[in-house]
């Protein structure tokens, strides 16, 4: 049996890529794409190209606030990573009350109430827990009142075999009338995975798409030459000539920070100015393909758009491997298959 999945705020398809690769251990359950929506044209083209190339019209490109939710079509499963602008630690934590993006989670609630899928996955940054005064509890209350029992957990991607320290809140909802019980997959199953940046970025095929190396200015190359693997620009200040130092009051840890080849990557971000692009342990910027590797996209996953657009798409995505692990656990739950699990680390 295949669950037909709809998706809002689909991004370039990280969640979908992992979900479509997942299946229950007995092969009884899998997932098929039904429809998706995002507002960015390049993002939608990337999704079409990789997730549903034979059904491009199933991706609705446009503002979700103008989307005809009632006309999307019946689904059995639903996924949405509603925009995190209001909740990210990099932002101002404005939350639901004062920021338009903070309200967009409600469109997912409308989908749940319209189509009543058997289950859903909702994803957001870890900062959602502290946004506003009680925004997180309001969101959980709305999801529960839509008819779902929730399992809420803060997933640390690096504990699940993803070569990146990326922490995300994932909410799994099972419809109240179903006996299925979802459990958080035990990360101990993946403790022996090699999640070093060295392994993650090794042996990229010569013909892999989106792998161009961006030319840096001589000043940036010189600055990087003083920064050791794993260090950022601030940690190299003492050895750096005055003209290469960054003179800002705020010292963000990721500024000109190089990867440590022996450790997982730090969090790949979608946007940011000079020094935030992510840097190889050599004196260069990461390529978009390397960023995609860190996000566990397959090498044949081709992103559409210019360099900045592709960087943004990759940075906003859910790691494919994490999606696959969580959705596999959902499918095993429906199949009645036992799997190693742990208690959720967040309460409802």
Instruction: Give catalytic residue positions.
Output: 84
Spell out the long-range contacts of 222-230 with Cβ–Cβ below 8 A and sequence spacing 24 or more. 223/256, 224/256, 224/258, 224/279, 224/283, 224/284, 225/283, 227/256, 227/257, 227/258, 227/279, 228/258, 229/258, 229/259, 229/260, 229/261, 229/281, 230/257, 230/258, 230/259, 230/260, 230/263, 230/281
Determine contact, residues 98/133, Cβ cutoff 8 Å: no
Q: How far apart are CA 153 and CA 348, in angstroms?
A: 9
Residue 301 CA from chain centroid, whole number:
15
Give the burial class of 73: count Cβ atoms within 10 A of its Cβ; 0-12 exposed, 13-18 middle, 19 or more buried.
exposed
**97 is written with which tokens?**
């009350």
């Amino acid at each position: 049996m295949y669950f037909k999945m709809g998706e809002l705020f689909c991004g370039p398809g990280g969640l979908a890529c992992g979900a479509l690769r997942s299946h229950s251990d007995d092969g009884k359950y899998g997932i098929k794409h039904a429809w998706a929506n995002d507002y960015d044209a390049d993002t939608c083209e990337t999704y079409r190209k990789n997730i549903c190339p034979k059904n491009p019209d199933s991706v609705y490109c446009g503002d979700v606030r103008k989307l005809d939710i009632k006309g999307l079509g019946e689904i059995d499963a639903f996924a949405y990573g509603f925009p995190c602008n209001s909740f990210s630690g990099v932002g101002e934590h404005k939350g639901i009350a004062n920021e338009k993006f903070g309200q967009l989670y409600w469109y997912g609630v409308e989908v749940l109430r319209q189509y009543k899928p058997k289950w859903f996955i909702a994803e957001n940054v870890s900062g959602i827990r502290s946004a506003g005064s009680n925004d997180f509890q309001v969101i959980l209350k709305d999801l529960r009142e839509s008819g779902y029992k929730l399992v809420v957990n803060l997933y640390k991607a690096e504990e699940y075999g993803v070569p990146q320290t990326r922490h995300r809140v994932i909410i799994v909802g099972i419809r109240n009338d179903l006996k299925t019980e979802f459990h958080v997959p035990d990360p101990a199953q993946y403790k022996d995975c090699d999640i070093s940046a060295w392994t993650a970025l090794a042996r990229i095929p010569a013909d892999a798409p989106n792998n161009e190396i961006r030319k840096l200015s001589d000043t940036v190359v010189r600055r990087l030459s003083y920064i050791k693997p794993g260090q950022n620009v601030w940690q190299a200040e003492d050895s750096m000539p005055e003209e290469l130092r960054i003179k800002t009051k705020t010292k963000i840890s990721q500024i000109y920070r190089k990867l440590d080849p022996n450790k997982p990557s730090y969090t790949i971000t979608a946007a940011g100015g000079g020094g935030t692009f992510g840097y190889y342990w050599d004196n260069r910027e990461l390529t978009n393909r390397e960023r995609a590797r860190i996000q566990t996209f397959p090498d044949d996953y081709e992103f559409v758009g210019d360099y900045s657009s592709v960087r943004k798409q990759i940075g906003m995505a859910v790691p494919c491997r994490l999606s696959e692990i969580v959705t596999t656990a959902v499918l095993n739950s429906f199949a009645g298959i036992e799997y190693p699990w742990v208690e959720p680390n967040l309460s409802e």
